[in-house]
Structure 1
Amino acid sequence: MNRELWENTELADPAFPINVFHTTFRHVDFLRLHWHEHLEIIHIVQGEAAYQVGGRTIIARQGDLLFINSGELHAASLTNANVPATICTIVFNPSMLNLKEPRISDIVAPYTSGLSLIANEFQQAERLYPQLFDMFARLADEFNAKRPGFELAVRAYCQLLFTWLSREYTATKRSDTEIEMLRLKNDRFKELFTYLEERYMERISVEQAAAIVHLSVYHFCRIFKQITGQTFIQFMNLHRMNKAEQLLMQTSMSITEIAAEVGCSSINSFSKLFRQLKGASPRDVRRDRIRS
């Protein structure tokens, strides 16, 4: 599997592979498309966000819980550019579930291989939501407080959460043939996203992109929209402006140089597109960086 979009999420300790992130996001597209081997549970503390997971768009509101399976491509953005979202995320490697125990390994293996998938969203009206949220909160508290013996508690909560989720919310069970076909499709698209990451400044046509994943233009456009929630053109424009924003914030390159770097032929078209997608002009972003 191509690993360029693989995210090596920072975990606390290789021997204790789990971390808890509590972050307020203010940028519209705050989580780029990526995947990782870990399992991820997300709580929307405040605000609202749109998650692209497994070819679906999930509008997650305050209080909702989300689950990301191992290997799933996912991304996230604010639904309102002017309203930030505060999100608590628990990310842990499946090894936290004690895979050295054969009986446990047999239970977890279908989920790490992609043969089985857990549902991605749990709203507050769900029957088990109170238990899931209570366990999520207890796990996060134990990890953050680090009281004596917290490692045992955290591992136990991971196991209990996974038990409830796999028992009550297994959404998909696939045959070996189905999973091989899905893996092939996912790998092709992961290769495409790596290609786009490396050559974002070039003029890449829809036809070229479709050829990389061996699909007709029609089927490519349909599947691409499912995976990313955007058309190919929208995705590439946003990706270029994300790169431009990074360069504006992190380098001393001139705005003209940055426009050329991200593949825009004129400063006027660059400034117009940047303002449209980022809500501010390149000059404003550069000025704010200098002030800060």
Structure 2
Amino acid sequence: MRRELWENTLMTDPALPINVFHPTFGIGCSLRLHWHEHFELIYVESGEVLYQIGGRPFPTKPGDMLFVNSGELHSATSLYPNEPFTVYALVFNPSILGLKEPHIVDLVAPYTNGMSMIASRIEQTDPWYPLLKQTTMQLAAEFEQKRYGYELAVRSYCQLLFTWLSREFTVMQRSDSEMNAFRVKMDRFKELLTRLESDIAERVTVEQAASLVHMSPYHFCRMFKKVTGQTFVQYLNLNRINKAEYLLKNTSMSVTEIAAEIGCSSINSFSKLFRQLRGLSPRDLRKGQSI
């Protein structure tokens, strides 16, 4: 039943895994009960809304802010059936926070694995509310307007928001012994991520990666998705294409050389993967750079 409620939230750019929704729910409309692996920050712009988050009711009014932790079931409906409501919903994958850096993994992973949780409601009377609201609206504006460099701004705002929320609004944290056991496991993951990052071309299988962190392939795949927000294959492919894009823009290496550099077996497979993740071919990207 829970799997049926899973939502595959649309992320238009794998390299910038965030989407900003600004819907108006008309009379009689509601947001169905669902869950996703992303974090979600909600700002109620107009109307009075009843949110259900993690089985708890949260009646809201304009200006209220809510947070949905990774994996929490949530839904929304108007408190008054004959009135519409409008919200901003910032849905972002943990990977946007920069999980390639080991110390950031330490900060974020407990929240993706349920070891720690952020409060569901940010009260308007809270001293941090004005800054959180301002930053949320700045992020939404950057994402919607997509001016030059917006990707960097959006990523930076996400990092700031998550830092403040985890610092000031953490409401649950496991015992010291549980956290220590978790950190041992995460240290192994950090070593693996560092290895994957340092040698993009290395062909590491799921089985090999799982053995490096002393886990079965099944449990490794589940843990990897929770830690990074991506499957193992998605993570490898995105790393390779990010490196390829850098080489296309900043070197004179041929497309064939770049394909070999990132470990693709052929130009065709490289071009297909690049188009899938970037929306254009490697040659078209380079051609656009020279115009």
Shared fold, TM over 0.5: yes
| Aligned twin of 1:21 | 21
Q: Does 1:159 align with 2:159?
A: yes
Structure 1 residue 177 displacement after superposition: 10
1:111 and 1:117 in contact (8 A); partners too: yes
| Aligned twin of 2:76 | 76
- How many residues end up aligned between the 2 structures? 179
Unaligned runs of 5+ in 1: 180-292
| Aligned twin of 1:103 | 103
Q: Does 1:131 align with 2:131?
A: yes
| Aligned twin of 2:235 | none
Structure 1 residue 175 displacement after superposition: 4.2
* Pair 1:52–1:176, CA change in 2 (3 A): farther
Structure 1 residue 3 displacement after superposition: 2.7
The 4+ residue runs of structure 1 with deviation greater than 3 A are 175-179
Structure 1 residue 19 displacement after superposition: 0.7
Unaligned runs of 5+ in 2: 180-291
1:63 and 1:123 in contact (8 A); partners too: no
* Pair 1:83–1:158, CA change in 2 (3 A): same
2:20 and 2:143 in contact (8 A); partners too: yes
| Aligned twin of 1:94 | 94
2: distance between equivalents of 1:152 and 1:142? 10
2:27 and 2:83 in contact (8 A); partners too: no
Query: How do 1:1-292 residues align onto structure 2 when only pairs under 5 Å count?
Result: 3-28=3-28, 30-175=30-175
* Pair 1:82–1:177, CA change in 2 (3 A): farther
2:43 and 2:64 in contact (8 A); partners too: yes
Structure 1 residue 126 displacement after superposition: 1.0
* Pair 1:176–1:83, CA change in 2 (3 A): farther
Structure-2-length-normalised TM-score: 0.59
The DSSP-based 3-state class of the residue aligned with 2:22 is strand
Deviation track 1:264-292 (CA, whole Å, cap 9, x = no partner) reads xxxxxxxxxxxxxxxxxxxxxxxxxxxxx
1:35 and 1:72 in contact (8 A); partners too: yes
* Pair 1:93–1:22, CA change in 2 (3 A): same
Structure 1 residue 28 displacement after superposition: 3.8
The DSSP-based 3-state class of the residue aligned with 1:66 is strand
The DSSP-based 3-state class of the residue aligned with 2:5 is coil
Structure-1-length-normalised TM-score: 0.59
* Pair 1:177–1:47, CA change in 2 (3 A): farther
| Paired residue type of 1:82 | N
2: distance between equivalents of 1:163 and 1:148? 25
2: distance between equivalents of 1:18 and 1:83? 29
Structure 1 residue 122 displacement after superposition: 1.2
Structure 1 residue 109 displacement after superposition: 0.5
The DSSP-based 3-state class of the residue aligned with 1:4 is helix
2: distance between equivalents of 1:69 and 1:33? 14
2: distance between equivalents of 1:158 and 1:87? 18
1: distance between equivalents of 2:2 and 2:169? 29
Q: CA RMSD in A?
A: 2.0
1: distance between equivalents of 2:19 and 2:47? 22
Structure 1 residue 37 displacement after superposition: 0.4
Structure 1 residue 2 displacement after superposition: 5.4
Structure 1 residue 96 displacement after superposition: 0.5
1: distance between equivalents of 2:36 and 2:177? 23
2: distance between equivalents of 1:18 and 1:135? 15
